[in-house]
Amino acid sequence: MSPEPDKKIKPFSEIKTAIVLAIIIGVCIACGIIIFEIRTERFSAVYINPDTYTNYPENGTVSFVYGINSYELEKTSYTIYIRAGDTLVETKQIELNPKEKYEERKLIQLPEDTVYPVKISVQYLSPHENNEVFFRVRNGTASE
């Protein structure tokens, strides 16, 4: 039986061209997805070094080391807030380049009327995020 005269068989070159175009489009889409997925993430990290403070400070003096690591894509400004309970102890502005680290030792004298336990916190605000870390101190001289 011969093929019907109305149905035309596509030449092999047209099918071959369609296959090549489909492969090229598929590779382009795959490359786009891979590039989109492995793009560099932007973030920063704030920390308090746990080896630098005690939860039972002597004479109401709290000492600790805190830091910020920048993993941003460009130079970023940070506003740092240090608090003892609800009391704002210090506000500071810094700028860090990508992969730069800032570290500082902080000494805080708590008021005589401090209600223990008290939360000591370091918070930063940047154009991209807001993070906070903290630890609590207890009165080592009086029973709670």
- 142: nearest Cα among 112, 121, 120: 112
Contact, 124 vs 68, CB < 8 A?
yes
Amino acid at site 25: I
Tracing tokens 């080592």 back to the chain, one arrives at: 140
Q: Write b or e for each residue in 5-39: b if 16 or more Cβ atoms lie within 10 A of its Cβ, otherwise e.
A: eeeeeeeeeeeeeeeeeeeeeeeeeeeeeeeeeee
Contact, 89 vs 64, CB < 8 A?
no
Question: 11-15, 36-40, 84-88: lowest mean pLDDT where?
Answer: 36-40
Question: What's the angle, vertex CA 4, arms to CA 11 and CA 2, rounded to 5?
Answer: 90
Q: What is the pTM of this model?
A: 0.70
Contact, 66 vs 46, CB < 8 A?
yes
Amino acid at site 67: G
pLDDT at res. 36: 67
Where do the structural domains in the chain lie, given as residue ranges?
10-39, 44-137
Tracing tokens 């740092």 back to the chain, one arrives at: 80
Class of domain 44-137: mainly beta
Please determine, for residue 38, whether its predicted confidence score (pLDDT) is greater than 70.
Answer: no
What digits encode the pLDDT tens for the residues 39-78?
Answer: 567 789 999 999 999 899 888 899 999 999 999 989 999 9
